[in-house]
Amino acid sequence: MASSTILSRKIIKPSPSIPSSHRHYNLSFRDQTANPAYLPIAALYSKPENHNITQISHILENSLSKILFFYYPFAGRIKDNKYVDCNDTGAEYFNVHVNCQMSEILTNPYNDAIEIVFPQNLAWSNSLSKERSSLVVVQLSHFDCGGVAVSICVSHKIADGYSACKFLSDWISMARDDELNFQPSPQFDGALFFPPIDNPPPMPNVVPVTQRCVSKMYNFSSSSLFKLKDIVSTNSQIQKPSRIEVATSLLHKCGVDVSMAKLGVFKPTMLFHVMNLRPPIPLNTMGNANCLFSATAMTQDNITLPNYVAQLQKAKQQLRDELKDMNTDQLASHAIEKIKEIAIIMKQDAFDMYFCTSLCTFGSHKIDFGWGSPIRVTQVKQPMKNQFIFMDDPTGEGINVLITLTEADMLLFQNNKELLQFASPVVQSLE
Does residue 202 fall inside a structural domain?
no
Give pLDDT tens digits for 69-127. Answer: 999 999 999 999 999 999 999 999 999 999 999 999 999 999 999 999 999 888 888 88
**Catalytic entry in 85, 189, 257, 368:** 368
Helices (DSSP H) in 241-374: which residue ranges? 243-263, 305-324, 328-348
Q: What is the DSSP string of 124-169?
A: TSBTTSTT---SEEEEEEEETTS-EEEEEEEETTT--HHHHHHHHH
Are 276 and 323 within 8 A, CB to CB? no
321 is catalytic: no
368 is catalytic: yes
The number of domains in the chain is 2
Helix (H, G, I), strand (E, B) or coil at 49: coil
> Do 270 and 413 reside in the same domain of the chain?
yes
- Domain end: 147, 163, 193, which one? 193
Q: pLDDT at position 268, please?
A: 96
Give pLDDT tens digits for 333-355. Answer: 777 787 778 778 878 889 999 99
> Do 120 and 254 reside in the same domain of the chain?
no
Crossing angle between the packed helical segments 53-70 and 161-175, to the nearest 10 degrees: 120
48 lies in which domain range?
4-193
Give pLDDT tens digits for 130-163. Answer: 777 799 999 999 999 999 999 999 999 999 999 9
> Do 103 and 146 reside in the same domain of the chain?
yes
CATH number at residue 51: 3.30.559.10
Global pTM value = 0.94
In this prediction, the residues of the chain whose per-residue pLDDT falls under 50 are 430-431
Burial call 340-356: b when 16+ CB within 10 Å, e when fewer: ebbeebbeeeebbbbbb
Q: How far apart are CA 62 and CA 72, in angstroms?
A: 15
Are 151 and 377 within 8 A, CB to CB? no
> Do 228 and 189 reside in the same domain of the chain?
no
- Domain end: 165, 193, 221, which one? 193
Does residue 205 fall inside a structural domain?
no
> Do 189 and 257 reside in the same domain of the chain?
no
Does residue 259 fall inside a structural domain?
yes
> Do 356 and 284 reside in the same domain of the chain?
yes
- Domain end: 132, 158, 193, which one? 193
> Do 38 and 69 reside in the same domain of the chain?
yes
Q: pLDDT at position 430, please?
A: 47
Number of H helices, E strands in the chain: 11, 16
**Catalytic entry in 51, 88, 142, 156:** 156
> Do 368 and 332 reside in the same domain of the chain?
yes
> Do 75 and 188 reside in the same domain of the chain?
yes
Q: pLDDT at position 209, please?
A: 53
Q: pLDDT at position 98, please?
A: 97
> Do 14 and 149 reside in the same domain of the chain?
yes
Q: How far apart are CA 425 and CA 217, in angstroms?
A: 6
Does residue 207 fall inside a structural domain?
no
> Do 343 and 402 reside in the same domain of the chain?
yes
